[in-house]
Structure formats: structure tokens, C-alpha cells
Structure 1
Amino acid sequence: MSCIYSTLLFVSNQAHRYNRTPVLTFDQPLYWKALTIIQNEHPNSQLKSVVLRLGAFHTEMSFLGCIGHIMRSSGLQEILELIYAPNAVTHMLSGKAVARAIRGHMLVDTALHSLLVSKIFNFDFPADENEEGNINVSVDDILSKAADVYTELLEGTLSISSACDSAVLQSIKETIHRPLEEMKKNRTSKLWLQYTEMMQILRQFIKAERTGDWELHLKKC
């Protein structure tokens, strides 16, 4: 505790010296101890200005555990057990096996989005990878334009911001938005759509950590 207190005091003094807000990141055990120290300090203490952050890894663990708790008895566990062993799934849903949990959740999220796109755009995915799906002309046109945007993005002839603002992506968003709002009227659909939103938060958090995007990190924490 004395080492943590000394660290808090040193960082706080340095931040005060340069007129900056002290921000410290700790892993879970040290975070809890540092938080206890700050909470027990006098209201006028300089340590009260310290902003504590839980480390990214333990933040992910906590968030994955929350997802597992919210999605309990929803069928998610049974879906994941099609890929992973039952004991592994138990750890994944508790937020322990982070790497496996992230991959498993992303696979489920991808499958959900595939089903949503199939339903909204009214086309069937092929049963075999060598078969062609049943896609109507209007959808085929949208997908072709989206594929062109993707190709230009890979070739570097189109910036990421321009791709995100492209008319075809805006059209796809608008087409998807209306049916999703209708689906949210059903409690089961709303739960699974909430799950996809949590996956988006997780993706953005991982992106923020890996790219050092502080503003994005603050939005997703």
C-alpha cells in the first residue's frame, strides 16, 4: 500500500507542477487498492484529483463477464458450445478466457449480422461455398457498389473517411435501420440486437487500445 501511495503522491505532485490532470492506469488488484486510498483521503487532499483507470485487459474481462451475465439462458452458451468445449465456454462467459471469448463472440456476431442482412435484403445464403446465393437485382447492384468502394479502399485510391461517407454505405445503413427498429419491439430480438451493440463497443474499445486513440477510448469506456 505504501508503494501505491507513494506513486499516487508522486504523480499527483508532478501533475500539479505542470498544471495537468493526473491519470494513472492500474491492473485490477492495484486499481482496487489505489481507489481505496483515494476514497479514504481527506476531501481537500491533492490525491482526490487523480483519475484512476482500470487496465485495458481487465476492462475487457469485466465487459465480457457482463455480456455473459446479460446473455445467460439466451442460448448463447449452447451456440458457443458448438465450437468450444463446455468447460471453455463457462470460462469465456465469465470473462476469464479473454482471447477465446473475443473470437467466439465475434463469430456469433458475424453470424447474426449475416442473418440480419439476409432477412432485410431478402436473399438466401448458399448452402455450399461453391453455390451462388439467390440475390435479387436491386440487392446485387448495392453489393456491387459496396464491393467497388471496398476495392478502392484497399487500393488506397479512397480514404477511410470518404468510404464511410459514401452514398452506398449510407443507403445500406438507412435500409437496415428501419427493420431493426421494428425488430426491437420484440423482446428476444431486442436482446440479441443489444448483444450486437455490445460487440460493436468491444470492437471500438480494442481499436482504441491498439491505435492509441484516446478520444475513442473515452467514448467506449
Structure 2
Amino acid sequence: MYEAAAVFHRPPHVLPPESGTLIQYVADNADINVNTLDDNNTLHIMGIIQIVTPKHSVLLEEPMPRIKETLSANDFKAKAHVPIQTYTNDGVVGYSKINFKDFVYGTKTVSFLKKADVIWFYGKWENESLPGWNGFIERLTNNHTNYSKSQISFLPFIYQPASNYNTIYTTLLCALENAKRYGHTVCIVTFDQPLYAREIVSAAPEGSELSKIIIRLGGFHLLMSFMGAIGHIMQGSGMKEVLAEIYASKSLEKMFNGHAYARAVRAHTLLQLTLAIVILKEVEMNNIMDADLIINIEHILEYEERGPTAKLWIQYFCMVSIAKEFLRAERMGDWKAHLNCVKEMLPYFHASGHFPYAKSTHLYLQDMKQLQNLMDPEVYKKFSGGFFTVRRSGKLSCGTSTDMVIEQSMMKAMKTDGGIARGRSTKESVISKWVYSMHAMNTVCDKLEDIANVRMDTTEQHVDASDLRVKKMLETYEDF
């Protein structure tokens, strides 16, 4: 009955943009395997979440009145039913209205963070007990803890396959209406590449509300594709044989195509560290904090002249640096570094045959560079100042890509105990009750954690800084 009361209770109110609030929406395909016996009749629907930053801009309506009568399944179904809107563009091809622009390549992003990389390489060379890369960055930034957290809410599912144009069109309209309900004129929607809705927005009449929707390309899936590009370029280099000393052979294929995300990030970080230590042995240095050290490290590019093999591995070193810089930009909310990394990724997408991502990434970068001219100045200041990433704690280096958030929240909740894919029915009325009551259930969990003084969403120590992980990293490095 508590779930039923939450469904029909007034939803939480979101403060208007004048208060410094930013709303983002993320949509992704949600698959529910109904028949696990034969794998037939899988339910394909579109899942949507709403991300509000800062968290305190979401005002919960209390108290919640009791439900005194039993409600029917039709009542719940009607509450969350989203009517499908038919997409008609009158023969207009969206991409034909877009002028593609060239970008200037060759400029590198130089920042304190890349200097920190060099310090980490040197530190691991001199002191093997130093934490892993993630743990090291966490230690450098652990005094910066006053960053805005985000509130994540689930919106009703759209009962059509996500790849259907009508479904994507309906998703955009739902996000637009939801933003207008709270007085927000800026509507930002994130998709991964297969659902990237730039064509639909481009085909909309100029000046219409649909044409003003800002479409973002998910950073998590973008990085997965980039790591797949690295794996493709490095085929036949011997890298797979080296990593086979550490990882199970069956998992290497998924690591090389980027699908085994966490393993791929760790493997590339370790392999780059090994290369860096080999290089550091040839670099003369007296003081690790000397500014000349960075200049000496940049002279590594001269090693390319030693032959094709040297050129290949220097290129690999640069590709991993781009991936790590992109991760830092997402975690720390550095918008400029985010765009610079996206630009640096583009040639590798083309070289590795990742043409869908090459096209979508080019459009995405082109749009985001014009964002300042399309957004309200105050909203853009908040967005580019770090609100484009999602934080669930106040730490600096804990941001998460928006498309990763929907995987970690909605998709994970669907497929764990209590989720709609684990023992519940997939009828629209049941899913409606699950979606609309989730914010109330999460509130109860948060209050229980406060009473018990226990947090389940974060820890004071990064896992890469733990003694066990440092020991494991040392063993792995010795295997190289």
C-alpha cells in the first residue's frame, strides 16, 4: 500500500533555473528477458531518467497520505501510460540540413592533470606501494569535497522498441514537457550512438521547440567505442599476448572491443605505466617537480623516428592518454577538456572503421562548440562549470557520465532483487507502480542510512588506494 500511495502522491517539485538548477534527461534501451527458457519474446522498451543538479533543488512533498481503497491495475496503468507520438517529417532528411565543419587537429591539452600523470609514473617507478592511477588522483583531490550532488529520478517507460523513430520522437517530447513543467526552457537529452537523435532534431522546423532540444552523446559508450578503436589499431602488435599473462584468454576479446569496460581501462593503464617506466629510464632528471621534466617527457615523440614499432607504441601511449584525460574530464566536470578529448578521438574512430561513432561524434562536437550561443548564459555557466557530469557525493573526482548513470541506476535496479526483471510482472500497471514509487523507496533507504550512520553509495577510500588493490597491482606489474 505504501507503493500505491507513492504512485498517486504529488511528485517532487524541482526549482526553476533562476535558482541555479539544471535538469538533464537520459534515455536508453531497456531489455527485459521475459522467457529465460527459450529467450523468445524479449520486452524492448525505452527507459528515461531525470537528473537534477544540485540535489537540494528537488523538494519532496510531505507528508504522504494513506490510500484507503484498493486500486485496480487499470488505475496504475493509466497513471504512467505514455501515448506514442507518430513521427512525420514530411520527407525532410535531417542530416541534409547540417553543414559539417572541419576541426583543427594537432593541439594538445596541457594541464596540471597531465603533469600529475608524469608524477604518478615516476612515483610508481620509485615507490611501488603508491596507489593505482584512480586512487592517486583521488588522493590529490581529496580536500575538494564541496561539489554539488545530483538527484536521479525515474520517468515512465515508453512501451515501444527504443530504436523506433516514433519512440525516440516521443521520448524527446516527454523530456521537453517535463522540463517545461518546472519552468526550464533548456532541455538536454543524452542518448548512446544507436539512438542518437540529432537527425530528428535537425529535421524539425526552424524555431520550433523540438529544434531547440540539445542532444548529447553519452560519454560512457563513447569511451567504450574508443577503447574498441584502440584494440583494433593494436591488433597484431603482441599486446594481446602480453595481456594474456594477466587476464583470462576468453575475456581478452571483449576487452579489445571495449565491452569489458573496467578491465579494459585497468589493462591499458597498466600497460601504459609499463611503457612509461621504460621511457623514464632513458630520461635524465634531477627533480621530479622541475618544469623541464614535462618538456623532456614530451620529447618522447622523437622516439617515433626509431622505426615503425616505436611509432606504433608511442601512438598507443598517446591513445591511452586521451582515454585517461577523457575519464578525468568526466569525473571532474572539466567541459573544455571533455571537448578537447572528443576532438582527439575522431581520427582514431575513422582509422579503426568505427564510422557510426565517427559521424555522430563529429556532429556532437560541432553542436557542443556552439552550445554557448544557444543556451541562456547562466545555464551554460552552470552546465560547463561541472553540472554536465553527475555526482552522487561531494568529492571532486567522482563525476559519472550521464549514460553510465542510467546503467547504474535504472538498468541495475531493474535487474536486481525487487526489480521488474526479477520476479515481478512486466505488465504496464506493475512497471508503473515500480517506477513511480522508486523515489519514495529511495528516500526511506537514505533515512535508514542516516540513522545507522552508514553510506552505501560511497566510501572515504577509493578502491584503487586499498592495500589489497595496491598489492594486486604490484603482482600484475611484475608479470609484465
Which segment drifts farther, 203-212 or 89-98?
203-212
Correspondence for 2:263 among 94, 100, 109: 100
Quote how far apart the aligned CAs of 1:210 are. 1.4
Is the strand fraction higher in 1 or 2?
2
Q: Which amino acid aligns with 1:5?
A: Y
Supply the RMSD in Å over aligned alpha carbons.
Answer: 2.6
Secondary structure of the 2:216 match is strand
1:26: how far off?
1.4
Residue 181 of structure 1: aligned partner: 301
**Cα deviation digits, residues 185-218 of structure 1 (max 9, x gap):** 2222121111111111111111111122222212
TM-score w.r.t. length of structure 2: 0.33
Gaps of 5+ in 2: 1-164, 343-480
Q: Report Cα offsets for 1:40-84 as digits up to 9, x if no partner.
A: x25647445544322122111101100001111111111111110
- 1:30-109 equivalences under 5 Å are 31-32=195-196, 34-38=197-201, 41=203, 44=206, 46=208, 47-109=210-272
Which string of whole-angstrom CA distances, capped at 9 and with x for unpartnered residues, describes residues 138-167 of structure 1?
x4xx2xx32xx5xxxxxxxxxxxxxxxxxx
Q: CA deviation at 1:181?
A: 3.4
- Inter-partner Cα distance in structure 1 for 2:335 and 2:301: 31
Q: Structure 1 regions of 5+ residues with no counterpart?
A: 122-138, 150-167
Give yes or no for the alignment of 1:210 onto 2:331. Answer: yes
Structure with more contact order per residue of length (Cα contacts < 8 Å, sep ≥ 6): 2
Q: Give 2:317's match in structure 1, choosing from 196, 209, 214.
A: 196
Larger radius of gyration: 2
Between the aligned partners of 1:119 and 1:175, the Cα distance in structure 2 is 10
Aligned counterparts, 1:142-161, within 5 A: 142=286, 145-146=287-288, 149=289
Cα displacement string for residues 4-29 of structure 1 (whole angstroms, at most 9, x for unaligned residues): 313434656869x9775x54211344
Structure 2 distance, partners of 1:26, 1:60, is: 14
Give 1:175 shift.
2.3
Q: Does the alignment pair 1:8 with 2:169? A: no
Mean Cα deviation higher: 6-15 or 208-217 = 6-15
TM-score (norm 1): 0.67
Distance 1:12 1:36 in 2: 17
Q: Which moved more, 1:68-77 or 1:210-219?
A: 210-219
User: Alignment identity in percent?
Assistant: 37
Partner of 1:163: none
Number of residue pairs matched by the alignment? 173
User: Per residue, is there more helix in 1 or in 2?
Assistant: 1
Taking the aligned partners of 2:294 and 2:275, their CA distance within structure 1 comes to 16
